[in-house]
Structure 1
Amino acid sequence: MTSAAMRLLVAAALAASTGCAGGGGPATGAPPDRAAVSRPSADALAARIAGAVAASGAEVGVYYRSLAAGGDSVLVGADVRMHAASTMKVPVMIQLYRDADTGRLSMDGSLTVDTVFPSIVDGSPYALSRTSDSDDALYERAGEGVAVRELVERMITRSSNLATNLLIDEADASRVTATMRSLGADSIHVLRGVEDIPAFRAGLSNTTTARDLGVILGALASGRAASPPSSREMLAILERQEFREKIPAGVPAGTRVANKTGWITGIHHDAAVVFPEGAPPYVLVVLIRGFEEDEAAATALARRISEMAWTHHTTEAQS
């Protein structure tokens, strides 16, 4: 990328952050990142992030928001729509916990493990394979009943595709999307489970933006995504997520991070609530499209953006 193009991208990021820095506390109804209170430090963070993105050559969406009352926010490419990959598992989890709150389902109830599912395109069957799943242990239990609570744990902590497909049938994708709208995520679309190749070929995929995921995680952190006890339980599950090489790797060891990654070919995402000791929490979402053959470069970029956000946030907290 030319230096002139990089300057244009940085300028655009500054303009976007100026319109989206600041906002109210996490308990407000409307997404506080819609407010417009520019701060020089937020503009500087936006410029640093935009510079790193431009140098990478990838398409990146970043959403940062402090959850302190009056905390700032930075958006760089935050409304770029991308394949959601496994980040869509967070909305599914939220819907299930909301259903448990209302008595629609029991987290201790069980679902029978099946590895074959109907495509949303034409109902044709497709099967999940343990060789393409990050959690293969669940396949050993085909035909058995497994508690919803355990399936949610596997869906998040191990990013189990099989658990996801079992649970999304229970949650109903259309209800999941409607619930995300009610939380302020204006454009996320949860359409289907994973590995539905006929749907993928038909252009029917789960999609999101960094802003959408940021709003959802903000609602979760503030106890608005479901009941406060359920929200706390979901955050604890996210803290047990085993894939920690992106956002968690960019903060000091021992820092609490509740995150969910998502990856397919050319897609490398991470979305997190970070809890610095002695400072308010913040939300950081990094969505990356590119690096088709270089996962390490994508991981390094996400980690670098996490480092930038941490430095900015903890410096602001001390000022």
Structure 2
Amino acid sequence: MTFQQFATQCHEIIGQYKDAKIGIAILDGKHTFYHQEKAIFRAASVMKIPILLTSYLTLSKALDTVAVLPEELIVEGAGVIPFLTGNLPFTYRNLMELMIIVSDNTASNALLKAISMEKVNQFMQDIGCEDSKIQRYFMDENAVLKGLDNVTTAKDMIMILQQIGEKNNFLNEKQQIDALRIMGNQQFREMLPSYTFDEEIHYYHKTGGLTGVDHDVAIIQYHEKQLYAVVLSQGWEDGFTGKKCIAEIGKAIAEYIKS
């Protein structure tokens, strides 16, 4: 499959879902496919990737020390920490793992408190993100009612992923390898990887979801090939259709990267 054939297939998939807003950015090193790549979306849990990367930079000497879990930031939703018994001595690295692997909101809030929203926003600005911003903690519905939300674009998310997959001035190689390890253990695989069981295709990704919102952003590797894929979507009327749309794009990606 040529990249042009792949792009045509993506357009056909998008055309079947006209009632929702969909933003896509796909890069394979030589070619790019964009669709509403500058459209602004509620970020949901994909905002946890810049929190992960800022944690490497801000907490570099404290990653394996016991973390502080502010009681007021312990929330439910995605994750496991609120449901565990006892005072478990999580390290900051454990929180980073929980934040990505099971999308733990309490872990995310604790990290965000430790590093500050300002530093996450500064990191995103420094790497060139133009429309991404974090303005609230996870599960903070009062902030949402006040008009404060976390937002991003497909184009910005590609730049965030490139800090993991490309040599840059921010993360060193050891940090990049660790970030890939964590993202490779992602437990939610119902979107981009959904249609393939090929163990030679490796997905390093983070999903995100809110009511009417479904996202998946990934570094995808197949042998010597590496591809960046961001699919953001919102405006869905159920919890299934958005995931199906992203899974179909993921199927096209898998067919293309193996061709």
Same fold (TM over 0.5): yes
- Does residue 79 of structure 2 align to residue 113 of structure 1? no
Give the superposition deviation at 1:60.
0.5
Map of 1:123 onto structure 2: none
* 1:101-151 residue CA offsets vs partner (Å, 9 max, x unmatched): 4x4xx101122333414xxxxxxxxx623xxx2323444357554210111
Map of 2:204 onto structure 1: 258
**Cα distance 1:201–1:51, how it changes in 2: closer, same or farther (>3 A)?**
same
Map of 1:286 onto structure 2: 231
Contact 1:108/1:148, CA 8 A, preserved across alignment:
yes
* 1:141-190 residue CA offsets vs partner (Å, 9 max, x unmatched): 57554210111110000000011111101111111111112222222112
Map of 1:128 onto structure 2: 75
1:62 to 16, 24, 49: 24
Q: Give me the CA root mean square deviation.
A: 2.0
SS in 2 for 1:74: strand
- Does residue 258 of structure 2 align to residue 314 of structure 1? yes
Counterparts of 1:115 and 1:51, CA distance in 2: 48
1:271 to 211, 217, 221: 217
SS in 2 for 1:113: coil
Counterparts of 1:144 and 1:304, CA distance in 2: 40
SS in 2 for 1:198: helix
Larger radius of gyration, structure 1 or 2? 1
Map of 1:93 onto structure 2: 52
Map of 2:178 onto structure 1: 233
Choose 171-180 or 238-247, whichever is displaced more.
Answer: 171-180
**Cα distance 1:114–1:266, how it changes in 2: closer, same or farther (>3 A)?**
same
Map of 1:82 onto structure 2: 41
Q: Which has the higher contact order (CA 8 A, sep 6+)?
A: 2
SS in 1 for 2:205: strand
TM-score, scaled relative to structure 2? 0.91
* 1:247-297 residue CA offsets vs partner (Å, 9 max, x unmatched): 1224452121100000010000000000112x321000111112222x222
**Cα distance 1:307–1:256, how it changes in 2: closer, same or farther (>3 A)?**
same
SS in 2 for 1:60: strand
Give ranges in structure 1 of 5+ residues lacking alignment: 1-40, 118-126
- Identity over aligned residues, as a percent? 22
SS in 2 for 1:288: strand
Contact 2:222/2:257, CA 8 A, preserved across alignment:
no
Map of 1:5 onto structure 2: none
Contact 2:81/2:106, CA 8 A, preserved across alignment:
no
Give the superposition deviation at 1:54.
2.2
Counterparts of 1:141 and 1:238, CA distance in 2: 26
Map of 1:7 onto structure 2: none
SS in 2 for 1:80: coil
Q: Which amino acid aligns with 2:232?
A: L
Counterparts of 1:155 and 1:187, CA distance in 2: 23
Counterparts of 2:218 and 2:186, CA distance in 1: 11
2:119 to 175, 192, 199: 175
Contact 2:81/2:107, CA 8 A, preserved across alignment:
no
Contact 1:267/1:290, CA 8 A, preserved across alignment:
yes
Give ranges in structure 2 of 5+ residues lacking alignment: none
SS in 1 for 2:67: strand
- Does residue 1 of structure 2 align to residue 45 of structure 1? no
TM-score, scaled relative to structure 1? 0.75
SS in 2 for 1:151: helix
Counterparts of 2:87 and 2:27, CA distance in 1: 44
Aligned length: 256
Counterparts of 1:76 and 1:292, CA distance in 2: 21
Counterparts of 1:229 and 1:236, CA distance in 2: 11
Map of 2:163 onto structure 1: 219
Counterparts of 2:230 and 2:50, CA distance in 1: 15
Choose 298-307 or 217-226, whichever is displaced more.
Answer: 217-226
